[in-house]
């Protein structure tokens, strides 16, 4: 089992460009697995972890309801935002500057073949990271992602998650609001959930801005511990 994970930080990158790059890495892993099975090639399958910030964009998962996007194309254009229907699970979500977006593209055969455990580990990575900032983040029963003040009228989501997995290879991932412009969430019903708010780390801490690089490093530290991974940092390839 190959537990090495190549980490790339793509910086600010168009959503479709990044999606195409994810698909390329994903296909390479799947193709290697197929070759191993057919030819008994016994080749290591690679693992990747991409960090990225996207320009303003709304994405709708396979089972999502387009009615959860509350504005039309003209309003999106006016706000400098784009929209894509994509192949992950979940409903509608927003990505934009000030978010730490992470896309682990892993062969779970290298770690464990349990997609629910995978999602719980991603949530735990975020929960432990936020604890370092003095925040008590939690899971909300039946709702993927990471929340604050669960079970109260003030429940609010700080990290959205949506993944795709095929042949135990993952793609897509999580979006943690660090310095996000929360006004963009008003143009949708986040994840199709009407009665809960959205927040950002800088808002919770009462700061104008939180160091994004520090947050990324904390996330990687917990990812490494939870997945028992070995990280290899690499220059962005897209």
Tokens representing 48?
Answer: 């990747």
Phi, psi of 101 (to 5 degrees): -105, 130
Residue 159: active-site member: no
Tokens representing 223?
Answer: 């990812």
- 173 in a labelled binding site: yes
- 98 in a labelled binding site: no
Q: Could you say which of 127, 191, 201, 220 is catalytic? A: 191
- 77 in a labelled binding site: no
- 94 in a labelled binding site: yes
- 86 in a labelled binding site: no
In the three-class reduction of DSSP (H, G, I as helix; E, B as strand; rest coil), residue 69 is classed as strand
In this structure, what DSSP letter does residue 89 have? S
- 161 in a labelled binding site: yes
Helix or strand run (H / E) with residue 15: helix 15-39
- 90 in a labelled binding site: yes
- Are the CB atoms for 186 and 227 separated by under 8 Å? no
- 88 in a labelled binding site: yes
Measure the CA–CA gap between 208 and 15, rounded to whole angstroms.
26
Residue with tokens 């993944």: 163
Binding-site annotation, residues: 88-95, 160-162, 173-175
Q: Which residues are catalytic?
A: 191
Binding-site annotation, residues for substrate: 88-95, 160-162, 173-175
């Amino acid at each position: 089992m190959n537990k090495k994970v190549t980490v790339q930080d793509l910086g600010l990158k168009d959503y479709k460009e990044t999606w195409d790059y994810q698909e390329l890495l994903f296909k390479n892993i799947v193709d290697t697995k197929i070759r191993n099975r057919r030819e008994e090639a016994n080749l290591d399958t690679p693992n990747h972890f991409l960090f990225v910030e996207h320009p303003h964009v709304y994405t709708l998962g396979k089972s999502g309801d387009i009615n959860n996007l509350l504005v039309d194309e003209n309003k999106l254009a006016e706000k400098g935002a784009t929209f894509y229907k994509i192949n992950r699970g979940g409903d509608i979500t927003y990505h934009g500057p000030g978010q730490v977006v992470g896309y682990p593209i892993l062969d779970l055969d290298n770690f464990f073949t349990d997609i629910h455990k995978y999602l719980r580990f991603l949530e735990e990575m975020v929960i432990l990271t936020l604890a370092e900032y003095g925040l008590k983040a939690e899971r909300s029963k039946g709702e993927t992602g990471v929340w604050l003040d669960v079970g109260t009228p003030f429940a609010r989501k700080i990290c959205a998650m949506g993944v795709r997995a095929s042949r135990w290879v993952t793609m897509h991932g999580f979006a943690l609001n660090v310095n996000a412009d929360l006004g963009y969430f008003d143009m949708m019903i986040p994840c199709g959930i009407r009665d809960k708010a959205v927040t950002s780390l800088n808002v919770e801490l009462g700061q104008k801005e939180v160091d994004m690089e520090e947050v990324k490093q904390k996330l990687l530290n917990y990812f490494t511990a939870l997945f028992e991974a070995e990280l290899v940092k690499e220059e962005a390839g897209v």
